[in-house]
Structure 1
Amino acid sequence: MKIYLSYLLFITLAISSCNFSAGIKKDLKTGLSFHYKGFRTNNVFLVDSANQKLNSNKIPFNAKIGFLVYGISKFSLKNGKIFPGMSVAVEDQNGFPVVNQSPDLFANSPGFSEQEGSVLLGSIRIIPPMKAGQTYHLKTHVWDKNNASNILDAEANIIVK
């Protein structure tokens, strides 16, 4: 029994000492789900134009909404800065692109301090070619430009009112 507990303790310590992070979460109110690997994050939210958390996936036409990635960490530092990448896309019910923002919202960034980069926001406005009464699939992809194994993906279906 002592040997078994010793092995169990050793394996637990070995696993917990690894610098690895992964997880999956889902918001039942908005349907937003996200998963990450390498990063650590407190949460990802769908937010309105005032960066307030949404409690529904029903979005008014012409509204501005976004993915707010809160408390993200474990970026690889380069010269004391982090270099995140982030993209946001919208697809119709058939999977065809409706809105494809810049492939990297931070393409021209000179980098951020770890604190500045701990909250990331990618937003869109619900305007044509989107239409009221339709369902759309929003997704965002976050990556570490200095470590390809650090990724976060989030997605949600929205219904335009």
Structure 2
Amino acid sequence: MQQRVLLAGLLCLLSACHFSAGARKDEKTGLTLMSHGLSCQNFLLERNGLPLTDKDIRYGERITLLLENLSGFTEKDGLVYPGMQLDVKDDKGVVVSSFTDMLADVSKSGVSPEQARGLRAAYQSGPPEVVPGRSYTLSVHIWDKQGKGTLDATLPMDLRFPDTTGLHTTPQGITAIRIFMISDSGRVQQGHVPAKGHVGINFQGLKGFVADSGKVFPGGSLAVYDSTGKALFNTGDAFASQTGGFTDTQVKEGLRITVNMNPHLKGIKTIWKFRVWDKKGQGSIETEVPVILD
């Protein structure tokens, strides 16, 4: 099933651009910071783990906001109590996804001012809340639970369609509306895939499964071959642990098959063959793509 990645935490960061109190906008990314009582000296935006320096954001990519040198929190017995909320709104201002009080566990007992100087929040777009080809706004709200200080970050997201260069799909009883590859360590572009982190494929809008007691039971695998056709590895059934099956809605929202890449494979030209099949019927769908590991 399609997974959204959401992170919230306290951390130490590397310096990036400078932001002081008040309102500032980064013209390259469109990020706007508005502070009232809280201040932030530095920020960093990442796209799939790499610095984001433009407005090119594609569906399924993970966007991370890192804030450094935050100050202005009210101390109580030497501790501060930060709060954080992340919202995604559509082009009409309607909230389609919301994560409230993301630091509830961290700040329940308070943290030192030094620990609260670095905060991060991340969001990975996915169904059913957002769809490619539409515009959204990512908003991060930080507040002082012991005072009145706030800091708001907003980022416009015109979610473009992912690159599908080289994907060849053969449906046999099972069909998908959209299929694309994704990586958490960089962008998959024209068959070039980062040789690190998690890499996989998303099948969205799947249909054609035989239902059993209101559930469907897909299998899924990835087989990788070198340029000579030699098998390098096979994941086996990626959904073997899902013995209770999926709802039809979950399958339509998306199934993902991922692997953890080995950096030693860098530079190798490979053929990846993804397959999803119906454990209760005869249908299947296969996608083959040539991959160069960068």
Structures share fold, TM-score greater than 0.5: yes
**Cross-structure match for 1:117:** 116
| Residues paired across the two proteins, number | 138
CA distance in 1, matches of 2:42, 2:139: 15
- 1:51-91 Cα deviation digits (max 9, x unpaired): x4311222222221122222101211122221100101001
**Offset at 1:49?**
4.2
- After alignment, is 79-88 or 110-119 more displaced? 110-119
Secondary structure of the structure 2 residue equivalent to 1:99: strand
CA contact (8 A) 2:21 2:40 kept: no
| Cα distance between partner residues in 2 of 1:49 and 1:79 | 39
The C-alpha deviation readout for 1:121-158, integer Å capped at 9, x for no partner, is 1111111131111111111111011102x111111211
Q: TM-score, normalised by structure 1?
A: 0.78
User: Looking at both structures, which has the greater relative contact order when contacts are Cα pairs under 8 Å and sequence separation is at least 6?
Assistant: 1
Look up the equivalent residue of 2:139 and give its one-letter code: K
Change (3 A) 1:69 1:34: same
Partners in 2 of 1:42 and 1:132 — Cα distance? 33
Instruction: Work out whether 1:108 is the aligned partner of 2:105.
Output: yes
For the Cα contact (< 8 Å) 1:34–1:155, is it kept in 2? yes
Partners of 1:142 and 1:124 lie apart in 2 by 16
Please provide the CA RMSD for this pair.
1.7
Aligned equivalents of 1:49 and 1:84: distance in 2?
Answer: 26
Query: Does residue 141 in structure 1 map to residue 138 in structure 2?
Result: no
Please name the residue that 2:22 is paired with: 23
Question: Aligned partners of 2:121 and 2:43: how far apart in 1?
Answer: 11
**Residues of 1 paired with 2:150 and 2:122: CA distance?**
19
Distance 1:47 1:111, change over 3 A: farther
Which residue identity is paired with 2:30? Answer: G
Structure with greater Cα Rg: 2
User: Does 2:46 correspond to 1:47?
Assistant: yes
Q: What's the CA shift for 1:43?
A: 3.0
Q: Name the aligned partner's letter for residue 103 of structure 2.
A: F
Report how far residue 96 of structure 1 moved: 1.1
TM-score (norm 2): 0.44
Aligned partners of 1:143 and 1:113: how far apart in 2?
16
- CA 1:39 to 1:108, structure 2 compared with 1: closer, same or farther past 3 Å? same
Cα pair 2:39 2:151 within 8 Å, conserved? no
**Within 5 Å, which residues of 2 pair with 1:1-161?**
22-50=21-49, 52-101=50-99, 103-109=100-106, 110-128=109-127, 129-148=129-148, 150-161=149-160
Match of 1:7 in 2: none
Return the alpha-carbon distance in structure 2 between the equivalents of residues 66 and 98 of structure 1. 18
8 A Cα contact 1:46 1:54, kept in partner: yes
Which amino acid in 2 is paired with 1:156? L
Give the conservation status (yes or no) of the 8 Å contact 1:35–1:154: yes
Post-superposition shift, 1:30? 0.6
Select the structure that is richer in helix.
1
Partner of 1:8: none
State the alpha-carbon separation in 1 of the partners of residues 73 and 132 from structure 2. 39
Task: Give the CA deviation at 1:115.
Answer: 1.6
